[in-house]
Amino acid sequence: MSDWLEATFTQQRPRAIAALTRVFRDIDTAEDAFADACLKALTVWKQDGAPRDPLAWLLATARNAGIDSLRKSQRRAAILSRHNEEFQPMLAETPDPDEMRDDVLRLLFICCHPELDRRDQIALALRIVAGLSVEEIASGFLVKLKAMEQRITRAKKKIASHTVAFETPNPEERGARLGEVSLMIYLMFNEGWSTSAGPSQINLTLCEEAIRLARLLVALFPAMGEQAALLALLLLQHARRDARIDRQGKLVALDDQDRTLWNRTDIAEATAFLQKAQRINHRGAYVIQAAIAAAHARAPSPEDTDWALIESHYAALHALQPTPVVRLNQIAAQARLHGPQFALEAMESLSEDLSNYRWFHAMRGALLQDVGDHRAAIAAFEAVMTLAPTGPECVAIKDKISSSKKELGHL
Amino acid sequence: MIYAITIYGEAGVFEALPKDRQDEVMSGHGALQTALKERGEFVSMKLMPPTSAVMVEPATSEGKPPLITDGPFADTKENFLGFYAADFNDLDEALTYAKLISSPIARLEVRPVAWAGGAISSE
């Protein structure tokens, strides 16, 4: 029985912790109070059935539990005296949705402390907001449990010393928080999608949690195109998870993926959110990236892909984010339209900026193979190998090197 | 009489279940679908999460077009998640079938259909 209830707790956790953090002005107290409420729910709900509004029940119970433990705790006497007047036992009532969305946004924003390393921000959000265990987070980041424990403890100390205003933010402030939090979620997905270290290429836990948080933002801010677009983008990427790694754990390039393995349910849902974002007339970076991913998802094969459309999306993205990596992606689309020689020449202007970017060399190697310059291709692939590729990437690159060597042998 | 078996629950809870519990829920749906298929026509739909919806609100005044909004707004209570509809002999029989998909994460409503058109028709 308890795992059915656990699913409800997991679902309610971000909102509950967020509201309780506002009440207690302290994340640890909020987490303890929520844990107490869940424990109580395990007995009470089993006896009386789950309440119609589980969040309201959990919040009221947690609030009362939190007050109780504060009253008993000497250590927190100071907090109590500061807020004594607010701490009246409360009945379960549906929380105000406007207040709730600012609470959740604030909690996520607190995790995005500017002095924290991005990966520590992500780890904190996974621990506090998503409620993952430290063990799960450690395995998500492929680090030792002990090391992750220390990092989270350190990060928690840091955010405790940093005050984020608890007043309702003005629209500008809210927009800034939303942008920062969305970026953290996007990077959480990327961290899972392309783990920075270790033998496995994808860490699905991080991807799934990022999608769950993106869903949460969409639920809280339904009129925001940017968040609908972010969710669409993540779902479209995630849809390819089963096709991206083969049975030997080898990374499969987009062109070589078995598209029947792409998850159609995810693609359909992503399409719905992309359409919503476009209807709102949102034109940010996520919506363009989602449109690109959707163009791939629609195409039955690489040859049937609308490369001209994709190229124009990358041009639009480059206008918004004029980075060498975006330009490289635009050139990759141009290679489809104008051939490998054209792309190789276009890439030259990026060779300095992207000299340490392994995808630059991997793409260059593939294009050089296409024009038949295998000697240069091997050099490019060897450059990839010096730039710390992941295990599955290594295997794929080694394959390419040996196929070029074979070609040279034939000549 | 056609009955609708409508499913209410909280969006996202199914996804938060461990895999074996998800399979348990899905096997109930599988059993219901097989049983309904044997009896004849039925319709069934699982809706995407409520956040994917767009609302068409009534026009604020006469002559104005209806208002399209991107709600529903953050509502943590039960959501309409999907439904089945089929012709049953009576309420008891409809309830028997509904029980196949009962689970701790869903509340089911069995309600007689006043009129149906399309794939299953009340006429």
Window from A155-169, A302-316, B17-31 with minimum mean pLDDT: A155-169
Chain B environment of A219 (Cβ under 8 Å) = 49-51, 74
Q: How far is A69 from chain B (nearest CA, A)?
A: 27
The pTM assigned to this predicted structure is 0.90
Q: What pLDDT is recorded for position A283?
A: 84
Tell me if chain B has a CB within 8 Å of the CB of A204.
Answer: no
Q: What pLDDT is recorded for position A327?
A: 97
Closest CA to B70 of B43, B97, B51, B89: B51
pLDDT tens column, A102-146: 999 999 999 999 889 999 999 999 999 999 999 999 988 888 999
Closest CA to A69 of A6, A61, A130, A128: A61
Instruction: Share the mean pLDDT of chain B.
Output: 91
- CB-based contact A4:B13 (threshold 8 Å): no
- Least CB-CB distance to B74: which of A50, A101, A268? A101
- Is residue B71 pLDDT above 70, yes or no? yes
b/e sequence A122-161, b meaning 16+ C-beta within 10 Å: bbbbbbbbbbbebebbbbbbebeeeebeebbeebbeebee
Angle at which helix A324-338 crosses helix A307-320, to 10 degrees, equals: 160
The ipTM is 0.90
- CB-based contact A193:A237 (threshold 8 Å): yes
Instruction: Share the mean pLDDT of chain A.
Output: 90
Q: Taking CB atoms and an 8 Å limit, are B16 and A220 in contact across chains?
A: no
Tell me if chain A has a CB within 8 Å of the CB of B57.
Answer: no
Q: Which residue has the higher pLDDT, B73 or A209?
A: A209
- CB-based contact A261:A279 (threshold 8 Å): no
- Least CB-CB distance to A55: which of B50, B76, B105? B76
- Is residue A87 pLDDT above 90, yes or no? no
Most A-contacting residue of B76, B79, B81, B105 (CB-CB within 10 A), to test interface: B76
Most A-contacting residue of B51, B69, B103 (CB-CB within 10 A), to test interface: B51
- Is residue A62 pLDDT above 90, yes or no? yes
Tell me if chain B has a CB within 8 Å of the CB of A268.
Answer: yes
Q: Taking CB atoms and an 8 Å limit, are A4 and B18 in contact across chains?
A: no
Closest CA to A126 of A31, A210, A5: A210
What's the rounded mean pLDDT across residues B36-49?
94
Tell me if chain A has a CB within 8 Å of the CB of B14.
Answer: yes
